[in-house]
């Protein structure tokens, strides 16, 4: 069982409703960001970022999409990008050619 599937099963076992309320999900993520900002340790930062990942996976599942398939589509998109790292602006600069765009309809999961 993948980590993503374990998170989904964790939600199911606790009878967490599969109802997506954007404001509620954003509030959870914002709370974790606040904890990261207040943290004085690398472990606190890692815990906060990992908790955000759990909330995001749960949010995608609540929207009736398969988080594993969503990530596959997003990675195809990211991997199709060409570009280079720009040290001056400390950012990846994308070229806009031959980009794969995610087809999230493939990721719908009503179960």
What is the mean pLDDT of each successive set of 10 residues along the chain, which is 111 residues long? 95 95 97 97 98 97 97 94 91 86 95 80
Whether residue 62 contacts residue 28, with contact meaning beta carbons closer than 8 Å, is answered with: no
What is the SS3 string spanning the chain? CCHHHHHHHHHHHCCCCCCCCHHHHHHHHHHHHHHHHHCCCHHHHHHHHHHHHHHHHHHHHHCCECHHHHHHHHHHHHHHCEEEEECCCCEEEEECCCCCCCCHHHHECCC
Domain residue limits, the chain: 1-63, 66-111
Q: Across-strand partners of 85?
A: 92
pLDDT at 97: 80
pTM of the model: 0.86
Crossing angle, helix 42-62 and helix 67-80, to 10 degrees? 110
pLDDT at 27: 97
pLDDT at 107: 97
Which of 52, 36, 106, 46 minimizes the C-alpha distance to 76? 106
For residues 41, 24, 17, 19, the Cα torsion angle rounded to the nearest 10 degrees is: -130
pLDDT at 95: 82
């Amino acid at each position: 069982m993948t980590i993503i599937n374990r998170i989904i099963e964790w939600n199911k076992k606790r009878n967490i409703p599969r109802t997506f309320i954007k404001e509620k999900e954003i509030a959870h993520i914002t709370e974790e960001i606040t904890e990261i900002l207040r943290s004085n340790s690398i472990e606190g930062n890692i815990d906060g970022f990992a908790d955000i990942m759990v909330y995001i996976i749960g949010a995608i599942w609540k929207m009736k999409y398969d988080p594993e398939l969503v990530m596959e589509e997003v990675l195809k998109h990211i991997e199709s990008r060409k570009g280079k790292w720009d040290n001056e602006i400390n950012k990846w600069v994308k070229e806009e050619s031959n980009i794969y765009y995610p087809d999230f309809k493939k990721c719908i999961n009503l179960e």
